[in-house]
Amino acid sequence: MARRPLPRILSKDSAQIARAQIARSRELARTAADSATDVLHPLITVSRGLGLLASAGRRKWAQTPKDRRGPLLFLVASVFLLVVLVPYGPLLAVITVMAAAAWQGRDRTPPADEGPDESQAERLRALYEALVPYFAGPEDPAPLYAHGGEWDKAFTAHEFDDTGRVGHLVIRYPAYFPDGEPEARARVERLLAAKAGRGREYHFAWDEEGNQLTVTVLAPLPADIAAQRFVTTPGETVLGFTDPSEVRRTLPLAYGEEQVDVPPVVWRTGIRSTEPHLLAMGQPGSGTSTLLRSVALQALEHGDVLIVDGGGTGEYASLTGRDGVLAVECALAGALASLEWAAQETERRLVATDLARQAGDPPPPDTRRPLWILLDRPGVFAHLAAAEGRRDPQALLQVPLRHGRAANVTVVVAEQFDNAEALSDVVRQHTRARVVLGSAPSRQVEAVLGTRPPTAALTHLPPGRGYARLGYGPVHRLQVPRTPDPYDDATSDADRQAVLELLPPRSTPADAGPVAAEAVAVADPTKPVAAAEALAAEG
């Protein structure tokens, strides 16, 4: 009897051939399955949609109260009968049901993220390596940041703009990073602003609870919005415009030949205001005088304005003699006389309002009309007053600043950073609405606003660009509307015409001289004006 040979052990080559055959078989099966799926995809979509429609019908029937199921069945039967009787009704009904099923059964899976390309991945890797010295801990057993580590674990979300630079980035950082310290935050923000691309403004949102930092590139604010009438109520002043994500309100504005809606930074003044006075700081040419002119044009709609210009440049000459403009003073003697009258007027309003309340009457109309005191560069007057042995004009602002809200008196002070030390303590204490314009070191911006802005500013900013903070609220990016001096030769014809249209008519000749004493007599004929006249005579 012949002996059957024993099976041989597979050699190395035969094992590789077997694995290759198995791989080819799997590939053929996968290809066949994909082909069948492509061919039967419409049928699969319609079947899935019919199942979803049937499930929705069962849920609707289960949610319908029992006393309403009879009318519902009658309605369904009526529709079915109508479809049967209408010509081509069944065909149209089938087509409608199939279309609805196809829509419900469509593939709603979001497209898979393809991820960054090679250049984008290189940028993210460079950012990760730059952040290692700030976020790495020597005693961390499983460090999230390490040289040569995986950047995709630290950057949970990222987007790039058309130029290939980072436009949005969500960064995870360790829990032991001191994110509550402003200095630690500032170091990271400066690094990201430099590495992600200079020449852009970045918004930094620190989530201390979730240990995440969101970096967003901000679009530039429109710097060519001209002065115009704003849709506001009495007591509201538009300081400028900001980002749409910061405020919910928008204003319709004329932007060239178009009408656009722009989010404003609105400052509320008056008796119910929590920040009745404003302080604006900036570098020379940053636009603080432009801000004061814009505020003056808006204030003249409902109140009176007193302007004291310490710069001596005549940038407010266009307001001289206009209706509602009590005075435009550029000399020390006139400034002292005007501010002395403003202090007395504030006291008079307080007394008149108190007497009216004691008698049960409403406040007199002249106390309800807003009075605005605009003081540009008071440090110049402080230096001149010290040289001549006179009183600092800022000392006369003590009464309007402390009691201005009750008397409906608003004070706006603008000064440059070079003369910031010349501001009195009363001005610093009572001006809680703050504006910083132009490029300035972060420590100066923080000293004025009381906190660091959440954005990284550019080195060169257009005039009127900066930050605004009203009281203890958030810090907003700000762009002041373009309100130049219409008498300046460098002003364009369009801007000049826009400002001239907002000016009230001239009621007093421009060469009539100081009108502070006359304003006192008009406001209250019984008020003595000897002090104002004496101060004017000294000049």
Per-residue DSSP letter, 314: -
Give yes or no for residue 416 having a pLDDT over 60: yes
- Residues annotated in a binding site for ATP: 282-289
Amino acid at 54: A
Give yes or no for residue 490 having a pLDDT over 60: yes
- 343 & 464 share domain: yes
Amino acid at 237: T
- 202 & 246 share domain: no
- 197 & 325 share domain: no
- 191 & 324 share domain: no
- 429 & 304 share domain: yes
CB distance 65 to 72 below 8 Å = no
* Average pLDDT for 182-193: 90
Per the document, the length of the chain is 539
Q: Which residues pair with 455 in a beta bridge?
A: 203
* Average pLDDT for 28-54: 74
- 342 & 250 share domain: yes
* Between residues 16 and 46, the one the model is more confident about: 46
Give the domain CATH number at 164. 3.90.1150
Give yes or no for residue 61 having a pLDDT over 90: no
* 132 pLDDT tier (thresholds 50, 70, 90): very high
Q: How would DSSP label each residue in 124-150? A: HHHHHHHHHHHH--TT-SS-SS-TT--
198: domain range? 118-218
Residue that is last in its domain, among 184, 218, 252: 218
Distance, in Å, from the CA atom of 336 to the CA atom of 532, rounded to the nearest integer, reads: 8
Dihedral through CA 422, CA 424, CA 425, CA 431, nearest 10? -100
Distance, in Å, from the CA atom of 524 to the CA atom of 508, rounded to the nearest integer, reads: 19
Question: In 396-492, which ranges are continuous DSSP H helix?
Answer: 398-407, 425-430, 442-449
Distance, in Å, from the CA atom of 129 to the CA atom of 150, rounded to the nearest integer, reads: 10
Is the residue at 28 inside a domain? Answer: no
CB distance 332 to 375 below 8 Å = no
User: Given this model, what pLDDT does residue 103 score?
Assistant: 81
Distance, in Å, from the CA atom of 211 to the CA atom of 296, rounded to the nearest integer, reads: 45
Residue that is last in its domain, among 187, 218, 249: 218
Is the residue at 59 inside a domain? Answer: no
Assigned token pair, 17? 């051939």
3-state secondary structure string across 218-241: ECCCCCCCECCCCCCCCCEEEEEE
* 470 pLDDT tier (thresholds 50, 70, 90): very high
* 51 pLDDT tier (thresholds 50, 70, 90): confident
SS3 label, residue 373: strand
Is the residue at 473 inside a domain? Answer: yes
Is the residue at 44 inside a domain? Answer: no
CB distance 144 to 174 below 8 Å = yes
Distance, in Å, from the CA atom of 480 to the CA atom of 287, rounded to the nearest integer, reads: 8
Question: If residue 475 lies in a helix (H) or strand (E), which one and from where to where?
Answer: strand 475-479
- 214 & 246 share domain: no
Distance, in Å, from the CA atom of 425 to the CA atom of 138, rounded to the nearest integer, reads: 47
**Counted domains in the chain:** 2
* Average pLDDT for 388-396: 91
- 360 & 408 share domain: yes
User: Given this model, what pLDDT does residue 530 score?
Assistant: 39
* Average pLDDT for 12-28: 65
CB distance 283 to 440 below 8 Å = yes
- 208 & 304 share domain: no
Is the residue at 61 inside a domain? Answer: no
State the Cα angle at 535 between 532 and 537, rounded to 5°: 110
Per-chain mean pLDDT for the chain: 84
| Half-sphere exposure at residue 33, Cβ-oriented, CA atoms within 13 angstroms | 6
* Average pLDDT for 133-137: 91
pTM for the complete prediction? 0.73
Lowest-confidence region among 51-60, 106-115, 200-209, 447-456 = 106-115
- Residues annotated in a binding site: 282-289
Residue that is last in its domain, among 218, 244, 264: 218
Is the residue at 146 inside a domain? Answer: yes
* 37 pLDDT tier (thresholds 50, 70, 90): low
Is the residue at 158 inside a domain? Answer: yes
For 324-354, b where at least 16 C-beta lie within 10 A, e where not — what string? bbbbbbbbbbbbbbbbbbbbbbbebbbebbe
Distance, in Å, from the CA atom of 83 to the CA atom of 300, rounded to the nearest integer, reads: 70
- 243 & 213 share domain: no
Give the domain CATH number at 292. 3.40.50.300
Which residue bears the tokens 């250049």? 119
- 363 & 286 share domain: yes
CB distance 329 to 393 below 8 Å = no
- 293 & 415 share domain: yes
User: Given this model, what pLDDT does residue 114 score?
Assistant: 61
Is the residue at 78 inside a domain? Answer: no
Give yes or no for residue 514 having a pLDDT over 50: no
Percent of the chain with pLDDT over 70: 87
